[in-house]
């Protein structure tokens, strides 16, 4: 009995010793078994690119695998092609590794193994078929061992931010922008009406008597046309009087006769056989005959006068039907272009608006899409000086050199800037979230970390809004897709921060 008891006690001692050793088992980097190396993340922006990179803390002798998310800021899309070279530099020495292609769209996964502890510089060189970029992270620490890294980095505390992964953002209409410093003006909010600009509408008239023949069965109002496109012709074939072919033949005969007389008299004049006055009379007759012939023959083909589009645009009006007989000078069609418009708005004279104190004008072509007339080199044309009893307002006319596809006579919202501009903090109006008169924005704290930030706003100038409180210059806010981020914060689930790729 004692023998069996000794054996059991021996087994228990061995088990206790094994458990004690397991509690103190270490990984190769010095961490306890089951402990994860602390992770770091950085978010940096250039003019073209956003880099959000996650990686385990850099420890001497240990490999760290990066999850480098590269986003093209224009349209906020992932980098799908190219390579990334990562350099870890200390003084004049360093390590370099290259990922020749993304491991998945937008994500490059190079691995680096530091050799020396201390403060380093981490450099990312991005090369794509479209452009190249260089992004530098200063003062990146390489730790001597796990314990040192754990002590220095520790565990992040505080309230968890909204998590919205890059893979989510890349799949939706998403955009961010930096809070900037810029000018803001006092504005007059009004409405405007679109009118055709000078020269943007061309009326085509019949230059001869005849029958109208459409060259296409779809010659209707609103139809797009190209410059020099044949739209219709006016034919006088079969007419006893005012026959175009006969008129062309007659004009040509007169021109040939005048040309012959001009050539003959010119030789006599140069030989000083006839006086200058006689030659000038012949020269005048020749010029008139030439002009008349060219005018009648211009655009004539097969006995018909051709009517062509004067520029790229659309059919504004059709004043005749196919087969109608028209007299010379009759209005046939009009062609217009959307590339230039006049915007007329009206304001109260009490604002004291003048050509000297007006600073600009914003308009909308569609809901919430503000544009400045200066963006397309437009200009304020004039401000009326008189008012009528029935309509006690003054009119402001502005030329807009932009493609305005809405019909003439359509209304749009207008903001007119006046006075002296004030330098202030600006955020795009599209970034605003409104709840019962209170405003907030979705602020990007890091690549995949966001928070909803209450703000106080001031003046509005077209696309931009003055921020009086809540943001500073350089902050990055979501301008498109803020609602989706807001909904992610209300979903009750938080995606893992250090996700693998």
- The per-residue pLDDT for 128 is 96
Residue 295 vs residues 210, 248, 252, 335, 437: alpha-carbon distances, Å: 17, 9, 11, 22, 67
Cα–Cα distance measured from residue 215 to residue 209, given in angstroms and rounded to the nearest whole number: 18
pLDDT, tens only, 466-476: 999 999 999 99
Cα–Cα distance measured from residue 251 to residue 243, given in angstroms and rounded to the nearest whole number: 12
pLDDT, tens only, 332-375: 999 998 888 999 999 999 888 989 899 989 998 777 788 999 88
Could you tell me if 236 and 210 are in contact, meaning their C-beta atoms sit under 8 angstroms apart?
yes
pTM assigned to the model: 0.68
Residue 144 clears pLDDT 50, i.e. is over it: yes
pLDDT, tens only, 484-498: 998 887 765 544 444
Give Cβ neighbours of residue 271 (< 8 Å, ≥ 6 apart). none
The arithmetic mean of pLDDT across residues 53-66, rounded, is: 95
Cα–Cα distance measured from residue 442 to residue 465, given in angstroms and rounded to the nearest whole number: 15
Could you tell me if 5 and 12 are in contact, meaning their C-beta atoms sit under 8 angstroms apart?
no
Lowest mean pLDDT among 14-28, 198-212, 348-362, 383-397: 14-28
Band (pLDDT 50/70/90 cuts) for residue 300 is: low
Residue 431 clears pLDDT 60, i.e. is over it: yes
Cα–Cα distance measured from residue 487 to residue 54, given in angstroms and rounded to the nearest whole number: 25
Could you tell me if 209 and 236 are in contact, meaning their C-beta atoms sit under 8 angstroms apart?
yes
**DSSP state at residue 166:** H
Per DSSP bridges, beta strands 162-163 and 83-90 are unpaired
Lowest mean pLDDT among 61-70, 156-165, 202-211, 259-268: 156-165
The single residue listed with the structure tokens 């940096």 is 44
């Amino acid at each position: 009995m004692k023998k069996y008891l000794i054996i059991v006690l021996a087994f228990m001692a061995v088990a206790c010793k094994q458990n004690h050793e397991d509690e103190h088992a270490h990984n190769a980097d010095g961490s306890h078994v089951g402990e994860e190396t602390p992770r770091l993340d950085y978010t940096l922006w250039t003019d073209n690119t956003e880099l959000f990179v996650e990686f385990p803390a850099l420890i001497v002798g240990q490999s760290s695998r990066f999850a480098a998310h590269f986003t093209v800021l224009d349209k906020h899309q992932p980098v799908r092609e190219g390579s990334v070279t990562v350099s870890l530099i200390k003084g004049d020495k360093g390590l370099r590794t290259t990922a020749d292609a993304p491991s998945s769209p937008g994500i490059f996964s190079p691995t680096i193994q530091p050799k020396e502890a201390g403060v380093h510089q981490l450099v990312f060189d991005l090369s794509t078929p479209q452009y190249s970029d260089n992004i530098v992270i200063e003062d990146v620490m390489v730790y001597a061992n796990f314990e040192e890294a754990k002590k220095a980095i520790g565990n992040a505390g505080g309230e968890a931010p909204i998590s919205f992964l890059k893979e989510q953002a890349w799949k939706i209409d998403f955009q961010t922008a930096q809070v900037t410093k810029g000018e803001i003006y006092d504005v007059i909010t009004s409405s405007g009406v679109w009118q055709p600009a000078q020269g943007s509408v061309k009326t085509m008239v019949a230059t001869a008597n005849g029958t109208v023949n459409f060259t296409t069965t779809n010659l209707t109002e609103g139809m797009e046309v190209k410059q020099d496109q044949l739209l219709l012709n006016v034919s006088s074939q079969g007419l006893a009087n005012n026959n175009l072919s006969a008129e062309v033949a007659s004009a040509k005969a007169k021109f040939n006769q005048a040309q012959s007389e001009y050539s003959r008299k010119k030789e006599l004049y140069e030989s000083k056989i006839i006086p200058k006055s006689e030659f000038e009379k012949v020269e005048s007759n020749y010029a008139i005959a030439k002009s008349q012939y060219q005018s009648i023959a211009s655009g004539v083909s097969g006995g018909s006068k051709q009517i062509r589009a004067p520029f790229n645009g659309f059919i504004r009006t059709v004043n005749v039907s196919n087969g109608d007989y028209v007299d010379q000078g009759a209005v046939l069609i009009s062609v217009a272009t959307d590339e230039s418009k006049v915007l007329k708005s009206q304001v109260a004279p009490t604002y004291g608006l003048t050509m000297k104190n007006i600073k600009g004008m914003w308009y909308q072509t569609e809901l919430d899409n503000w544009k400045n007339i200066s963006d397309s080199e437009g200009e304020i044309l004039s401000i009326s000086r008189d008012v009528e009893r029935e309509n006690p307002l003054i009119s402001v006319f502005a030329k807009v050199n932009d493609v305005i596809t809405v019909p003439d006579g359509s209304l749009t919202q207008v903001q007119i800037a006046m006075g002296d501009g004030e330098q202030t903090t600006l955020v795009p109006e599209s970034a605003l979230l409104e709840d019962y008169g209170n405003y907030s924005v979705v602020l990007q704290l890091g690549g995949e970390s966001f928070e909803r930030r209450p703000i106080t706003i001031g003046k509005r100038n077209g696309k931009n809004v003055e921020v009086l409180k809540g943001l500073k210059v350089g902050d990055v806010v979501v301008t498109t897709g803020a609602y989706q981020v807001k909904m992610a914060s209300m979903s009750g689930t938080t995606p893992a921060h250090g996700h693998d790729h």
